Amino acid sequence: MNINDMIYRILAKEGGYVNHTADFGGPSNFGITQNTLSRYLGTVVTPDILKALDIETVRDIYELNYYRIPRINKLPEPIQPFLFDTAVNHGPRRAIKFLQQVCNEAGFGPILCDGFMGPKTQAQAQACFEELGDWMLAGLVRERQMFYVNVISFDSGSNVFLKGLLARARSFLPEHCEP
């Protein structure tokens, strides 16, 4: 799957402008928060500017900040869509931490779970995928789902999102890896 296909799928999940009171990330448009757009544009962004966000800017932000800079594009192709989606949903560092945790748990470490894609993380992720294949992806999905449950346990107001978030993570499971 190429980057444009991955962005298209994320856009379908993120939708348009949202300002839900239980979302601690604040208002967003196509999954881009007000803070993210402010950093990207180098100026303070108002909700009206966020509402007027064009799709090409969203695509640029996604590809640069959530795919290329965190080096998700350097990982085995079958796990890229999941980690890219995770980076958009949780931030790139959290996505890479999930990867590092799964590599460590599978015996492909020790890797420091710092959320940065260094050469060791990249090499161990490649080795882990070569050994486990789709089961590595299943481990990544499990890490993400456990993270959601932990977040909800500390912020019960976010419980309204749990079912959808778990389904979003589960949507990446290969059929033969489903429980």
Q: What is the pTM of this model?
A: 0.90
Mean pLDDT over 148-175 rounds to 77
| Domains in the chain: boundaries | 1-69, 76-179
How many whole angstroms separate alpha carbon 9 and alpha carbon 130? 26
Residue 102: partners with Cβ closer than 8 Å, 6 or more residues away:
128, 136, 139, 140, 143
pLDDT band at 157; cut points 50, 70, 90 = low
Backbone angles phi, psi at 17, to 5 degrees: -70, 130
Q: What mean pLDDT value characterizes the chain?
A: 90
Residue 84: partners with Cβ closer than 8 Å, 6 or more residues away:
6, 10, 62, 66, 67, 72, 95
pLDDT > 70? residue 22: no
How many whole angstroms separate alpha carbon 63 and alpha carbon 139? 25
pLDDT in tens, 54-113: 999 999 999 999 999 999 999 999 999 999 999 998 899 999 999 999 999 999 989 999
pLDDT > 60? residue 179: no
How many whole angstroms separate alpha carbon 88 and alpha carbon 67? 9
Most confident of 31-35, 72-76, 142-146: 72-76
Q: Is 139 exposed, middle or buried (0-12, 13-18, 19+ CB in 10 A)?
A: buried
